[in-house]
Amino acid sequence: MPVETRYFRSDTHAVNGLTAYQLKTVNSVTLTSVSGDYQWWGIRVFVRHADGAEEEVTAGTPVAQVFVTAAGWYSATWNCPSKALSPTDAIVVRLYNASSSTGPWTLKREWITEQLNAQSLDASTWTVYYNFDVREAVIDYIATTFVFRHGSDTYNSRIEGFAWTPVPVGIPRFLVDSLSTVIVNV
């Protein structure tokens, strides 16, 4: 069972009909960011099938929530449950922002893994690391913007503890049949 660190990369790819930022085990090198007006941030997790259908792994509300008060690093955990997968499934992680821990939540960004060739997403504790900048502007009042940063060595926002089980590697049926034939003919 691989237990991985998955990085919120700054480049995109298309998997199972969804074009989103890459969620991979190697980080990208170029910083990118997305801003929100509120201090609460969290993620929701989905399984995306080859036909584009999705099943939510979280329960409809963002998990691994953080409350941002200043620029810097924040982390939170989520207990990922076990979920059966098909080999062509991918995992989607969506980032949300809200004015309170109960919402309403606004989608800010989404990431997707490659097709995992997995039989399951395994029960494990995910630790999500977020990096934020906080910017203030004076218009008629002081407006604060919260900026989630990701995709570079310095701002390597990520998920640690991403666990899954690969599809077992076996001997293909046609190979077994061929070997049986050879043994019989010997």
* Pairwise CA distance, residues 56 & 47, whole Å: 6
* Pairwise CA distance, residues 51 & 17, whole Å: 7
Average pLDDT on 33-38 reads: 97
Tens digits of per-residue pLDDT, 15-24?
999 999 999 9
Residue 171: the pLDDT is: 52
User: With DSSP H G I counted as helix, E B as strand and the rest as coil, what are the percentages for the chain, rounded to 5?
Assistant: 5, 55, 35
Tens digits of per-residue pLDDT, 81-135?
999 999 999 999 999 999 999 999 999 999 999 999 999 999 999 999 999 999 9
Token pair for 32: 């990118």
* pTM, 2 dp: 0.89
For tokens 């207990």, the residue is: 79
The values of phi and psi at residue 21, to 5°, are -65, 150
- Domain extents in the chain: 3-185
Q: Per-residue pLDDT for 182 more than 50?
A: no
